[in-house]
Amino acid sequence: MSPHVLHPGSRVRTAAVLLTLLTTLGVLAGCSRADEGSSAAPAETSPAAEVRLGYFPNITHAPALIGVEQGLFTAELGNTTLTPQTFNAGPDQVNALLGGSIDVAFIGSGPAINAFTKSNGEAVRLVAGSTSAGAQLVTSPDITSPERLKGKVIATPQLGNTQDIALKTWLKENGLPIGEGPDAVTVQNIENPQTLDLFKQGKVAGGWLPEPWSSRLVDAGAKVLLDEKSLWPDGKFPTTVIIVRTQFLQEHPQTVEAILRGEQRAIEFVRDQPDQARTITNGAIEKITGSALPAPVLDRAFTELSFDSDPLASTFPQLAKDSVTAGIADSEPDLTGLLAPAAVDTVRQSVGEPAVDPAGLAAAN
């Protein structure tokens, strides 16, 4: 604005202009990063030509495996091409999401938070839940208390993944140092199949693992030292959730909702036909990894899990604190705007289920 002289008769008009300007600036200043990266759809949206879906060949991702194998996603997507891509652990998925090489991911809660905070709350949105529970600290039978873990090697799937954060938080809360030596617990990040082999060889004492790997170690002689369910109210904590690239959600909300409809159908399939769901999931795991699960492992793993599209948003503030306690994050992140519940609420209400509790994590409209 160029400077000008104020004449007496122009005071009212000038005051009005200044008030309008200050009000506008106030609104802009009040916009949070969540508003800037809001999942609110732009004026023109359309179904995507292709959706690239990431997930794990794990029982904790059974709705994704069933949805792909049974064509449930494809049926809901219409003319949109589904391109599946599998991963072993969440941090790799985070890199794929932030790099723009996948659009939607079934992922652990820890990496979901990491993707949001790593991008300053802009790159991804949490759009649904999928799986609750199904993670345990399983160890050799001689380890009967936390103190007995000193001097031992305990595995987690990958640095910064959901189980890695949970183990490190629990160790610190129990006063157990993390590191090398007889008075500390060594935490090693090892891919799940290798953890099983190393446990059989006596080279690791156990692991904080998701299903089916905790059950596979139990089948190999381990025992459960701690079930993570015991650490959460009502035993509920998000093991697998669904996150989406924010830009993809903004441009193609119809496609995101279609993916969630497919997931809902897969969840209902697990509930209504549990035996067939187990068979299909095991077949998908064998197709991807080359190895099917033994029947006892399959049965035990499924009994440890609960499948629901509710992301359990109220647990995320504690999960964020845990990432700091575990040393994965430097400071507790602000998760406002992480959740974009519109699509999952629409899908849930269409089948008679209640809308999810946003727990203060949804962006302002």
The position carrying tokens 């974009």 is 340
- Alpha helical stretches, state H, 201-241: 213-219
- Is the pLDDT reported for residue 3 higher than 70? no
- Is the pLDDT reported for residue 42 higher than 70? no
Residue ranges per structural domain of the chain = 42-132+236-350, 135-234
Q: How many other CB atoms are there within 10 angstroms of residue 292's CB atom?
A: 15
Residue 270 contacts residue 307 (beta carbons within 8 Å): yes
Provide, rounded to the nearest whole percent, the portion of the chain with pLDDT above 70: 88
- pLDDT value at position 1? 39
Say how far residue 41 (Cα) sits from the centre of its chain. 22
Token couple for 315 = 């647990």
- Is the pLDDT reported for residue 201 higher than 70? yes
209, containing H or E segment: strand 206-210
Assigned CATH class of 135-234: alpha beta
- Is the pLDDT reported for residue 226 higher than 90? yes
Provide, rounded to the nearest whole percent, the portion of the chain with pLDDT above 90: 80
Ranking 9-18, 73-82, 249-258 by mean pLDDT, the lowest is 9-18
Q: What does pTM read for this prediction?
A: 0.84
Q: How many other CB atoms are there within 10 angstroms of residue 118's CB atom?
A: 18
35 vs 334: CA distance, rounded Å: 13
DSSP 201: T
- Is the pLDDT reported for residue 237 higher than 80? yes
Residue 167 contacts residue 187 (beta carbons within 8 Å): yes
- pLDDT value at position 129? 99
Mean pLDDT computed over 185-202? 96
147's CB contacts (< 8 A; 6+ apart) are 176
* Ramachandran sector of residue 209 (left: φ over 0; alpha: ψ -120 to 50; beta: rest): beta
Q: At 332, phi and psi to the nearest 5?
A: -70, 125
Mean pLDDT computed over 342-364? 95
CATH 3.40.190.10 for the 42-132+236-350 domain, yes or no: yes
- pLDDT value at position 258? 99
The position carrying tokens 């993707």 is 115
Task: Tell me the sheet residues that pair with 132.
Answer: 238, 306
Closest CA to 64 of 269, 295, 354: 269
Mean pLDDT computed over 288-308? 94
Ranking 15-19, 251-255, 285-289 by mean pLDDT, the lowest is 15-19
Task: Tell me the sheet residues that pair with 126.
Answer: 243, 339
The position carrying tokens 């992922």 is 107
Express each pLDDT in 99-133 by its tens digit: 999 999 999 998 899 899 989 999 999 999 999 99
Mean pLDDT computed over 193-217? 96
* Rg value, the chain, Cα: 23
Confidence grade of residue 44 (pLDDT, cut at 50, 70, 90): confident
